[in-house]
């Protein structure tokens, strides 16, 4: 066996502790008590259930199972803390209860071991709710110790690479992923109640579309074609609207081949929903109720406390034009953002890139993203995005340069994107052609021409409102998690080299 080694954050040490534990396992096996041959253990209660129902359970025999996370030995008595999904509960082992031999078997137990115990619910002198153990079984041996109990596990690299250790050690991490699960459940229930139909559409697509982003490419051997991992389900979902399903949604993974940051992971979970005979204003109402509901279901409140600042998620949310929001924050009038030249001046003044190659829409987005977005703490719908950057959205009748589109913001985070869907096949074809030109000119994120989608529109799509919501962003907003990696169990990391 090699000696101790440390490799960039993940611990693989074969240190003294591991050697001791392996030796202990060998002794157990030699004695015919191999813990890994244990199969089931029927428990009667979870830790929290015992604490919450103590009054009615006091004196009862119960069976619990979990991970041993702490031990306090006192010679002829010993305390231990057992952690299960619901929390921890104290165990009390006494030699006069277990007998000398059984009590001696406690030597087999280490922090981190998985044990099942049977015993009587009681309270100790210090009023701690405890199980006085009458019998116990080692159900699985931990050859490595869990993270240290007092300081916990802080090393972010280990937290992400070995998430199980993070979940064992950090209550807050466990809480965030439970919230995430509840949020997704809540979104489903809400949409179900509104008669939306949950559907699944291809993740591997011959043509990537529905968003402006670069895709991952893969290859199908039998068909001998390249396929793209989807960057959005949008165009398939709208085909279903054409097909008359009228209210559809999908919650699923999308993949975008771009940089990683505290707000971006290459794969993330997106909710997209489409409702026929609705427009973007209908969708605003849908989103504000749905998010408020998700907060209530996952946190028990529609109010968030963020750095001492209260955020109320109940409808209605503020609605503000992109241009008004910029003017309010920076005093830059909409007129100055009408032409690329005057916008360039504004960008120069603000210290933003203002080169001749930068498009007007990009400059506006930069100004907004840098100076306005971080201040949108209260839930806000920002409207009036330029049609030029919204190739799938219907233009406003009174001003075709602007789209019937909005983005929801909470706690400074962009949660998604929504609009009245463009259902005019001819105009859609024109928009795609414009995108294709941008693509030919080097814009790798531009939308590719999708004749098959235009064909679908030619059969007639009712006026439709649609939304895309980043589930991770929503969970970040609800939990206050500072990084998207904190709400994705296994975030993308660079592989470690040996």
Of residues 46-75, those binding RNA (CB under 7 A):
70-75
Distances (CA, A) of 141 to 1, 16, 30, 100, 393: 20, 16, 15, 22, 57
246 phi, psi to nearest 5 deg = 65, -45
Q: Does 4 bind RNA (CB under 7 A)?
A: yes
Looking up tokens 């910029």 gives: 326
Q: Does 158 bind RNA (CB under 7 A)?
A: yes
**Mask: binding to RNA, 215-254, rule CB under 7 A, as x and -?**
----------------x-----------------------
User: From the list 145, 252, 462, 480, which residue makes contact with RNA (rule: CB under 7 A)?
Assistant: 145
Tokens of 493: 């990391």
For residue 18, give the 3-state DSSP assignment: helix
Rounded least distance, CB 117 to RNA, Å: 15
User: From the list 6, 37, 40, 219, which residue makes contact with RNA (rule: CB under 7 A)?
Assistant: 6
Q: Does 396 bind RNA (CB under 7 A)?
A: no
Residue of 334, 328, 332, 335 whose CA lies nearest to 348? 332
Rounded least distance, CB 461 to RNA, Å: 21
How many Cα atoms occupy the beta-carbon half-sphere of 191 within 13 Å? 26
For residue 264, give the 3-state DSSP assignment: strand
Residue of 430, 369, 359, 346 whose CA lies nearest to 389? 359
Q: Which is nearer to RNA, 46 or 245 (CB)?
A: 46
User: From the list 42, 96, 193, 398, which residue makes contact with RNA (rule: CB under 7 A)?
Assistant: 96
User: From the list 155, 285, 297, 427, which residue makes contact with RNA (rule: CB under 7 A)?
Assistant: 155
Q: Does 436 bind RNA (CB under 7 A)?
A: no
User: From the list 52, 246, 258, 312, which residue makes contact with RNA (rule: CB under 7 A)?
Assistant: 258
Tokens of 49: 């259930």
Q: Residue 114 and residue 137: Cα distance in Å, rounded?
A: 9
Q: Which of residues 269-288 bind RNA (CB under 7 A)?
A: none
Q: Which of residues 452-491 bind RNA (CB under 7 A)?
A: 468, 470, 482-483, 485
Assess whether the previous peptide bond of 237 is cis (omega < 30° from 0): no
Q: Residue 372 and residue 392: Cα distance in Å, rounded?
A: 25
Q: Which is nearer to RNA, 40 or 74 (CB)?
A: 74
CB-CB contact of 381 with 241 (8 Å): no
DSSP sequence for 417-457? EEEEBP--HHHHHHHHHHHHHHHHTT-TTSPPP-HHHHHHH
Q: Which of residues 18-47 bind RNA (CB under 7 A)?
A: 20
**Number of C-beta neighbours around residue 6 at 10 A:** 9
Query: Applying CB under 7 A, which part among 53-61, 140-148, 308-316, 458-466 lies near RNA?
Result: 140-148
Q: Residue 376 and residue 389: Cα distance in Å, rounded?
A: 21
Rounded least distance, CB 84 to RNA, Å: 16
Q: Which is nearer to RNA, 27 or 220 (CB)?
A: 27
Q: Does 92 bind RNA (CB under 7 A)?
A: yes
**Mask: binding to RNA, 184-213, rule CB under 7 A, as x and -?**
---------------------------xxx
User: From the list 27, 36, 76, 437, which residue makes contact with RNA (rule: CB under 7 A)?
Assistant: 76
Rounded least distance, CB 223 to RNA, Å: 27
Q: Which is nearer to RNA, 243 or 374 (CB)?
A: 374
Rounded least distance, CB 243 to RNA, Å: 26
User: From the list 2, 37, 40, 219, which residue makes contact with RNA (rule: CB under 7 A)?
Assistant: 2
Q: Residue 371 and residue 97: Cα distance in Å, rounded?
A: 68
Tokens of 434: 């414009």
Q: Residue 8 and residue 157: Cα distance in Å, rounded?
A: 9
User: From the list 94, 102, 182, 439, which residue makes contact with RNA (rule: CB under 7 A)?
Assistant: 94
Beta bridge partners of 395: 403
Q: Which is nearer to RNA, 149 or 220 (CB)?
A: 149
**Number of C-beta neighbours around residue 483 at 10 A:** 16
Q: Which is nearer to RNA, 179 or 232 (CB)?
A: 232
Assess whether the previous peptide bond of 316 is cis (omega < 30° from 0): yes
Total residues binding RNA (CB under 7 A): 86
Q: Does 365 bind RNA (CB under 7 A)?
A: yes
Q: Residue 308 and residue 305: Cα distance in Å, rounded?
A: 6
| CB-based burial label for 453 (10 Å; 0-12, 13-18, 19+) | buried
Looking up tokens 């604490």 gives: 51
Pair type for strands 405-410 and 380-383: antiparallel
**Mask: binding to RNA, 106-135, rule CB under 7 A, as x and -?**
----xx------------xxxxx-x-x---
User: From the list 84, 250, 407, 450, which residue makes contact with RNA (rule: CB under 7 A)?
Assistant: 407
User: From the list 181, 262, 333, 348, which residue makes contact with RNA (rule: CB under 7 A)?
Assistant: 262
Q: Does 153 bind RNA (CB under 7 A)?
A: yes
Tokens of 232: 């959005």
Q: Which is nearer to RNA, 50 or 242 (CB)?
A: 50
Q: Which is nearer to RNA, 160 or 190 (CB)?
A: 160
Q: Does 401 bind RNA (CB under 7 A)?
A: no
Query: Applying CB under 7 A, which part among 8-16, 52-60, 291-299, 458-466 lies near RNA?
Result: 8-16
């Amino acid at each position: 066996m090699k000696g101790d080694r440390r490799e960039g954050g993940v611990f693989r040490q074969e240190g003294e502790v591991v050697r001791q534990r392996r030796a202990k396992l060998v002794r157990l096996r030699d004695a015919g008590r191999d813990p890994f041959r244990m199969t089931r253990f029927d428990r009667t209660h979870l830790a929290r259930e015992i604490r919450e129902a103590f009054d009615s359970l006091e004196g009862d025999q119960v069976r619990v199972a979990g991970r041993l996370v702490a031990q306090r030995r006192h010679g002829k008595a010993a305390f231990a803390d057992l952690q299960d999904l619901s929390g921890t509960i104290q165990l009390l082992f006494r030699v006069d209860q277990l007998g000398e031999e059984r009590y001696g078997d406690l030597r087999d137990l280490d922090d981190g071991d998985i044990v099942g115990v049977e015993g009587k619910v009681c309270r100790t002198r210090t009023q701690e709710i405890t199980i006085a153990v009458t019998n116990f079984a080692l159900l699985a041996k931990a050859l490595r110790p869990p993270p240290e109990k007092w300081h916990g596990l802080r090393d972010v690299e280990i937290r992400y690479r070995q998430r199980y250790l993070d979940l064992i050690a950090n209550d807050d991490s466990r809480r965030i992923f439970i919230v995430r699960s509840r949020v997704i459940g809540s979104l489903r229930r809400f949409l179900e109640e509104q008669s939306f139909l949950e559907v699944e559409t291809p993740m591997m697509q011959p043509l990537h579309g529905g968003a402006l982003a670069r895709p991952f490419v893969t290859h199908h051997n039998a068909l001998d074609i390249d396929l793209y991992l989807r960057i959005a389900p949008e165009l398939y979902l709208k085909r279903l609207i054409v097909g008359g399903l009228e209210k559809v949604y999908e919650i699923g993974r999308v993949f975008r081949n771009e940089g990683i940051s505290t707000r971006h992971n290459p794969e993330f979970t997106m909710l997209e929903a489409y409702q026929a005979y609705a427009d973007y204003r209908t969708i605003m109402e849908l989103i504000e109720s749905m998010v408020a509901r998700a907060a209530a279901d996952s946190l028990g409140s529609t109010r968030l406390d963020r750095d001492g600042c209260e955020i109320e998620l109940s409808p209605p949310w503020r609605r503000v034009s992109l241009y008004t929001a910029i003017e309010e924050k920076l005093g830059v009038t909409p007129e100055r953002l009408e032409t690329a030249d005057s916008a360039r001046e504004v960008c120069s003044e603000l210290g933003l890139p203002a080169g001749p190659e930068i498009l007007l829409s990009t400059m506006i987005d930069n100004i907004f993203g840098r100076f306005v977005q971080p201040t949108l703490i209260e839930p806000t719908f920002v409207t009036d995005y330029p049609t030029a950057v919204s190739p799938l959205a219907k233009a406003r009748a009174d001003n075709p340069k602007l789209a019937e589109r909005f983005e929801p913001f909470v706690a400074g985070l962009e949660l998604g994107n929504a609009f009245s869907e463009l259902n005019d096949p001819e105009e859609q074809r024109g928009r795609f052609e414009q995108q294709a030109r941008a693509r030919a000119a080097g814009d790798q994120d531009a939308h590719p021409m999708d004749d098959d989608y235009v064909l679908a529109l030619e059969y007639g799509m009712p006026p439709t409102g649609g939304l895309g919501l980043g589930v991770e962003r929503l969970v970040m907003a609800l939990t206050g998690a500072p990084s998207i990696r904190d709400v994705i169990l296994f975030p993308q990391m660079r592989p470690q080299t040996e």
